[in-house]
Amino acid sequence: MEPEKGRRSTYAELNARSNQAAAALLANGIRKGDRVAILLTNRAEFVESYFAAAKIGAIVVPLNWRLVADELQFILKDSGAIGLIYDLVYDATAETLRARDTDVKTWIRVGGTDSEPHFRKSYENLLAAHPCTEPALGASDDDLLFIMYTSGTTGRPKGVMQTHETMLWASTTWNMTCDMRYLDRHLIVLPLFHIGGLLPLTAAIHRGQTVVVLHSADPDNILRTIAQEKVNVTHIVTTMLRRILTQSVEQPDRTSLRWAIVGGEAVPPGLTRQAANAGIEVLQDYGLTEACGPVTIATSEDAREKADSCGGPHFHTEVRVIAPDDREVAPGEVGEVVVRSRHIMKGYWNRPDATAEALKDGWLYTGDLGAIDDDGSLSIRDRKKDMVISGGENIYPAEVERVISSHPKVKEVAIIGQPSGKWGESPVAVVVTKNGAGLNTEEIIAFCRGKIAGYKIPRHVEFVDELPRTPTGKIQKHLLRVRFPGPAPQ
């Protein structure tokens, strides 16, 4: 793991340190069912903490390190996390959060030693003080393993609840669908706070592979690591693939790389061909946090023949497209994509209303609009929730709109996505000011800073006299996308 830092661990060493971490959590009052938040970049301590919490039945809350204190505070408070494991680079954030209203009592810092302020404890010192013996097993199949927060369509993120059993089925599904081989070398590039990072990590360990956890997703670093570590498989996003294929590294040895799963957004056919010419087999997938990852997957051949296809269902996964009356639509007809599997979420944390809306008769209603062709391949046609995917990160307009609408000069706002050569999509704000008040793009961007993560902040603002609406008052965003097609400024 972490080749650029030179730290390598055997499975026995990983298990021993996870046992020490589990003992440390227990000694600090963490018990079964308690939530433990992790604010770490991709590094060995994240993996150790994840398995430590799982062993004792605590529930992991992975935190997106791109979020600002206001956003992190909401997740900590909403989840009721009583422990936080964080990197020393987030010292200032931790001190800010400690002054806020959260339930966190145990603050564990990775890096450095015990020091002022007195509330934080050193991760390494805690591990050194505890044995490597296995703790008493604290969890069973239906117990929660983690709560992973997704950006909310109503302005606040929702906590997706996945259990030990749903992750086991997701891992089994992943391993049976993909060409995952024992002793393969598996590169983990996507952040572990994301299901696109956490599931491949779990599945790779489940399969007995050598896991290479990359701290930096710099394209040159990815290419160097593939060559140096003789990586066989990986999972990346489209924008990452595009950058890898245009990097200046001279003829890196990619012959070990058998395939790369690419998700987060559609892969253009030209990019698939470019990857094939570089010796990279691209598998395009469609997945959801609510599905613990897997939904459908398409081979490079599928993608070349059907440019908009994201393939057929993974093993152990059923996918249908339905009309508003729950009738299954005919092949080629557009409807809502619904999914059924043993790896579907248990529900949304403390949100029975949202859970009831998303889970019906064992089916997950995704909110995405798509069509299934005669061969059973799914294509996503639109996003019912108007989500913008920028650099593989989900951005829900309502969350950004909530912030911008609080500006004293803003009457109303709509967020749409515009094509971006760098990010795939970028968020753009369409704003109506109050009484024609003077306002510009720079002021809106400055207003957003510190309130939402940087990748969510609109790259550009369009000012209009009014927003198009239906007779019932709903903003017609499809008309805004036609009016402002982009591309977005870089």
Position 306 in a domain: yes
Using a pLDDT cut of 90, give the percent of the chain over it: 67
Residue with tokens 């800073």: 449
Domain match, 327 and 182 both: yes
Mean pLDDT of the chain: 90
Domain match, 67 and 90 both: yes
Domain match, 456 and 412 both: yes
Domain match, 119 and 182 both: no
Query: What pLDDT is stored for residue 305 in this prediction?
Result: 76
Q: What stretches of 380-424 show up as alpha helix (H) in DSSP?
A: 397-404
Domain match, 88 and 198 both: no
Question: Which of residues 133 and 6 earns the better pLDDT score?
Answer: 133
Decide: helix, strand or coil at residue 400.
helix
Residue with tokens 């009356």: 325
Position 489 in a domain: no
Buried b / exposed e along 257-286 (16+ C-beta atoms within 10 A): bebbbbbbbbbeeebbebbeeeebbbbbbb
Domain match, 301 and 445 both: no
Q: Is the dihedral of CA 88, 91, 93, 99 positive or negative?
A: positive
pLDDT in tens, 208-248: 999 999 988 888 888 889 999 999 999 988 878 887 787 65
Using a pLDDT cut of 70, give the percent of the chain over it: 93
pLDDT in tens, 458-474: 989 999 999 987 655 56
Query: What pLDDT is stored for residue 478 in this prediction?
Result: 83
Tokens of 144: 């929660």
Q: What are phi and psi of 71, to 5 degrees?
A: -70, -40
* Domain end position, chosen among 383, 404, 427: 383
pLDDT at 411 over 50: yes
Domain match, 173 and 127 both: no
pLDDT in tens, 308-330: 788 999 999 999 999 999 999 99
* Domain end position, chosen among 383, 416, 431: 383
Tokens of 182: 């024992």
Position 128 in a domain: yes
Residue ranges of E strands in 291-448: 293-298, 312-313, 317-322, 335-341, 347-348, 359-360, 363-372, 378-383, 388-390, 393-395, 410-420, 424-433
Our count of domains for the chain comes to 3
Q: pLDDT grade, residue 281 (50/70/90)?
A: confident
* 198: enclosing H helix or E strand: helix 195-207
Position 490 in a domain: no
Position 333 in a domain: yes
Query: What pLDDT is stored for residue 232 in this prediction?
Result: 95
Position 154 in a domain: no
Lowest mean pLDDT among 123-137, 230-244, 361-375, 463-477: 463-477
Position 217 in a domain: yes
Domain match, 378 and 398 both: no
**Which residues span the domain enclosing 397?**
388-483
Domain match, 106 and 37 both: yes
CATH number of the domain bearing residue 339: 3.40.50.12780
Residues 6+ apart with CB under 8 A from 393: 66, 264, 455
Query: What pLDDT is stored for residue 267 in this prediction?
Result: 75
Position 159 in a domain: no
Q: Is the dihedral of CA 239, 240, 243, 245 positive or negative?
A: negative
CA gap 318, 341 in Å, rounded: 6
Domain match, 135 and 179 both: no
Domain match, 461 and 358 both: no
**pTM for the model:** 0.86
Query: What pLDDT is stored for residue 4 in this prediction?
Result: 46
Query: What pLDDT is stored for residue 238 in this prediction?
Result: 80
CATH number of the domain bearing residue 467: 3.30.300.30
Query: What pLDDT is stored for residue 253 in this prediction?
Result: 81
CATH number of the domain bearing residue 125: 3.40.50.980
* Domain end position, chosen among 383, 402, 435: 383
Domain match, 335 and 186 both: yes
